[in-house]
Amino acid sequence: MLDFTLIVLLVAGFALAADVRRGTAHYREYFYVGYSYVPQSGNTSIADGQIYVERLSPASGTTQPYPILFIHGSGMTGTNFLNTPDGRPGWAEWFMENGYEVYLVDQAARGRSPWQQSVDGLQTTIDTLSVSQLFTATEVYDLWPNSTLHTQWPGNGTVGDGVFDQFYASMVPLLESDGESGTKNQHAFVALLDRIGEVILLTHSQAGLFTWPIADARPSLVKAIVTIEPGGPPFIGDTFSSNTPKHPWGLTEVPMTYDPPAASPSDLQTVNVTEGRLPGYTCILQQEPARKWVNLLDIPVLSITSETSWHGIFDDCTVDFMRQAGLTVDFVRLQDVDIHGNGHMMFMELNSDEIAEKVVGKWIAEKTKSAMLGSSRE
């Protein structure tokens, strides 16, 4: 009887242990940057413009020369990089396990970064059908070439599936205007870099649009850039916005420093390219000789596109624009490194650790090798 009880306890104990998720012991701190006080009637004020920032440091120590600053995309928050919606460790965990300190944020006027009714512009919410069609169940809708090859989302990606429901419930309203988001995020992230110093910037989707203005304002603090299916393509909305003009400064809504200087977007002469593109698709680039993003020339860039996302249609055009602007870009389509079936939310899909290790982690390690050797970061 005693033995039986012991076995029951052991089995129960094992079940508990198996349920405990992997986790790197770490320190956590949160703070806000970028606020200013906005006067209100009655001798008082409110704060606006600040972003929520969470700093996670492995307890065993940081072994990498630079921390990674993650910036999430539309409708998302910093939770994107914590555990995945099906409860596996996320990219923050993977990078901490590999010796990186990580910063997670909520974009300006989003999530834990306050949206102030009297200051900030209108918000919008991405509905469940759009999320299934674009991110989680593209295989069901067949809206673009390769969408049906999507296999890596955990669960069926639609309402009623527990993983989808968790993911969707984590989504929050975002500013309607990418222009307003661009200005406010540039301001807040410059304040963040001024506080924390050198980083590797890792951005997803919409945050691609803010990557360039942040780096433009603080080029010496951005040691490398990883863009995951970045905002684009140049000068127009993506496939779902029927080629309406967007990103007037090329890949941004806010001004970039060009050389020769561009005083206004109309200084950027463009040309429509169809050769080498998917049938029916036009890529708008600068006319040569192209103006350069002169502040960003020394920052290495890795741009990643999945096999099945709609970004597969035009991310090559976005990368061509970056290269014309003078950047050195490694462009990886996941299928070319034998990673198949991923969509837009690759960093939380079933093989998220594989992508972290084989693509992102490997590239960052290579680009920061010299800093590793020469540094004594405390």
Ligand X SMILES: *[C@@H]1O[C@H](CO)[C@@H](O)[C@H](O)[C@H]1NC(C)=O
Q: Which is nearer to ligand X, 200 or 313 (CB)?
A: 313
Stretch that binds ligand X, among 29-37, 257-265, 294-302, 305-313 (CB under 6 A): 305-313
Minimum distance, C-beta of residue 320 to ligand X, in the bound complex (Å): 15
Q: Which of 40, 145, 220, 297 binds ligand X (CB under 6 A)?
A: 145
Which residue in 181, 205, 303, 309 is the catalytic one?
205
Take residue 194 and report the two structure tokens written for it: 């001024």
Q: How far is CA 295 from each of CA 38, 204, 212, 242, rounded to the nearest angstrom? A: 32, 22, 10, 32
Give helix 178-196 / helix 208-217 axis angle, nearest 10°: 50
Minimum distance, C-beta of residue 282 to ligand X, in the bound complex (Å): 5
Q: End-to-end CA distance of the chain: give it in Å, rounded.
A: 56
- Cα Dmax for the chain: 86
Take residue 331 and report the two structure tokens written for it: 């462009």
Task: For residues 371 and 255, give the distance between their C-alpha atoms in angstroms, rounded to a whole number.
Answer: 31
Q: Which of 151, 166, 170, 282 binds ligand X (CB under 6 A)?
A: 282
Q: How far is Cα of residue 234 from the mean position of the Cα atoms in its chain?
A: 18
Residue nearest to ligand X (CB): 312
Stretch that binds ligand X, among 8-16, 26-34, 84-92, 156-164 (CB under 6 A): 156-164
Does 45 bind ligand X (CB under 6 A)? Our answer is: no
- DSSP label at residue 245: B
- Backbone CA torsion sign across 304, 309, 311, 313: positive
φ, ψ of residue 288 in degrees (nearest 5): -80, 145
Does 272 bind ligand X (CB under 6 A)? Our answer is: yes
- Told to judge if 205 belongs to the known catalytic residues of this protein, a careful annotator would answer yes
Does 313 bind ligand X (CB under 6 A)? Our answer is: yes
Stretch that binds ligand X, among 70-78, 158-166, 251-259, 359-367 (CB under 6 A): 158-166
Q: Which is nearer to ligand X, 94 or 153 (CB)?
A: 153
Q: Which residues of this chain interact with ligand X, rule CB under 6 A?
A: 43, 145-146, 156, 158, 160-161, 236, 243, 272, 282, 284, 307, 312-313, 335
Residues taking part in catalysis: 205
